[in-house]
Amino acid sequence: MTDNTIDQPEDRVPKRVIGTPPPSEAILKEEPAHKPEALLGVKLQDPESARKAERVVALLFAIAFLAGVGFIASYVIFQVGTLEKTSASNFALGGTLTLALLALAAGITTWVRRIMPKYSMIQERHPMASDSETRESVKETFLAGANESGFVKYKLLRRTLLLAAAPLGLAPIVLLRDLGPLPGTKLRHTVWGEPTKNGKPRRLITEGTGQPIRAADFNSPGGILSVVPEGHEHDLNALAKATLILLKFRPEELKSGTNLNWTHDGIVAYSKICTHVGCPAALYEQTTHHILCPCHQSTFDAADGAKVVFGPAARPLPQLPIGIDEEGYLVAKADFNVPVGPSFWERGDAEKEAREKAEKA
Amino acid sequence: MIGTGRSVKPITARRRHPLARFAVVALALGLLGGGYALAAPNGSTADAAVASGKADDVAKGKDLFVAHCASCHGLNAEGTKSGPTLVGVGAAAVDFQVSSGRMPAADPGAQAPRKPLDEWATPEAIDQLAAYVQSLGGGPTRPTAEQVDPAKGDPAKGGELFRANCIQCHNFVGAGGALTYGKYAPPLHESSPTQIYEAMATGPQAMPVFNDSVITPEQKRDMIAYITSVRGQVDPGGAGLGRIGPVTEGLVGWVVGISLLVLAAIWITAKKRQAH
Distance between CA atoms of A189 and B187, rounded to whole angstroms?
38
The partner residue sitting opposite B180, judged by closest CB among A207, A226, A292, is A292
In a domain, A258, yes or no: yes
Q: What is the pLDDT of residue A360?
A: 85
Contact A292 B179 (CB under 8 A): yes
Say whether residue A292 is in contact with chain B using an 8 A CB cutoff: yes
Same structural domain for residues B129 and B172?
no
How many angstroms away from the CA of A169 is the closest CA of chain B? 43
Domain count, chain A: 2
Name the closest residue on chain A to residue B180, using Cα atoms: A292
Would an 8 Å CB–CB cutoff place A287 in contact with chain B?
Answer: yes
In this structure, the answer to whether residues A211 and A307 fall within a common structural domain is yes
Band the pLDDT of A100: cuts 50, 70, 90.
very high
A207 with A103, same domain: the answer is: no
Q: Is residue A110 part of a domain?
A: yes
* Cβ neighbours of residue B177 closer than 8 Å, sequence gap 6 or more: A283, A294, B169, B170, B171, B184, B185, B244
* A179 C-beta neighbours (distance < 10 Å), count: 7
DSSP letter, residue A4? H
B206 and A109: CB-CB below 8 Å? no
Beta strands in chain B (DSSP E): 177-178, 184-185
Which of these three, B137, B163, B183, is where a domain ends? B137
* Alpha-carbon distance values, B93 to A61, B117, B138, B154 (Å): 67, 16, 11, 25
Who among B177, B213, B274 is closest to A217 (CB)? B213
CA distance B185 to chain A (A): 9
Same domain for A205 and A340:
yes
Task: Tell whether A269 is covered by a domain.
Answer: yes
ipTM given for this complex: 0.70
B151 and B204 together in one domain = yes
Q: Mutate which of B167, B209, B216, B271 to disrupt the A interface (most A C-beta within 10 Å)?
A: B209
Domain interval for residue A270: 201-344
Task: Single out the residue in B79, B104, B137 at which a domain terminates.
Answer: B137
CA distance A131 to chain B (A): 37
pLDDT in tens, chain B (276 residues): 444 444 445 555 666 666 767 776 777 777 766 665 555 544 444 455 445 556 678 888 888 888 888 888 988 888 888 888 888 888 899 999 999 888 888 887 788 888 888 888 888 888 888 888 888 888 888 898 888 898 999 999 999 999 988 988 998 888 888 888 888 899 998 899 999 999 999 988 889 999 888 889 999 999 999 999 998 888 877 788 888 878 888 899 899 999 999 999 998 887 766 555
**Residue A272's domain is classified under what CATH number?**
2.102.10.10
Band (A94; pLDDT cuts 50, 70, 90):
very high
CA A282/CA A277 separation, integer angstroms: 14
- Domain holding B117, by residue range, is 46-137
Q: Is residue B68 part of a domain?
A: yes
Total CB pairs under 8 A between chain A and B:
92
- Cα–Cα dist B61/B122, whole Å: 12
The answer to whether residue B217 sits within a structural domain is: yes
Tell me, yes or no, if B180 comes closer than 8 A to chain A by beta carbon: yes
Selecting from B165, B185, B206 the residue whose C-beta is nearest the C-beta of A225 gives: B165
CB spacing of A32 vs B274 below 8 angstroms: no
Closest CA to A68 of A37, A10, A40, A107: A107
For the cut 70, the answer to whether the pLDDT of residue A144 exceeds it is yes
Residue A157's pLDDT band (cuts 50, 70, 90): very high
- Establish if B29 belongs to a structural domain: no
Q: Write out chain B residues lying below 8 Å of A224, CB-based.
A: 165, 208-210
> Please, what is the average pLDDT of chain A?
87
Highest-confidence range of A70-74, A248-252, A277-281, by mean pLDDT? A70-74
Q: What is the CATH classification number for the domain harbouring B63?
A: 1.10.760.10
Question: Both A223 and A319 in a single domain?
Answer: yes
If you write DSSP's letter for every residue of A72-137 in order, what string do you get? HHHHHHS---SHHHHHHHHHHHHHHHHHHHHHHHHHHHHHHHHTSPEE--------SSPPHHHHHH
Tell whether A207 is within 8 A of chain B (Cβ): yes
pLDDT on residue A3: 44
Helix (H) or strand (E) holding B200: helix B193-202
Model confidence pTM above 0.90: no
Inter-chain touch A206–B272, beta carbons under 8 Å: no
Kindly list the residues from chain B whose CB atom is less than 8 angstroms away from the CB atom of residue A223: 203, 208-211, 214
CA nearest neighbour of A285 among B178, B87, B81:
B178
Residues A339 and A279 sit within 8 Å (Cβ to Cβ): no
* Chain A residues touching residue B181 (CB < 8 angstroms): 288
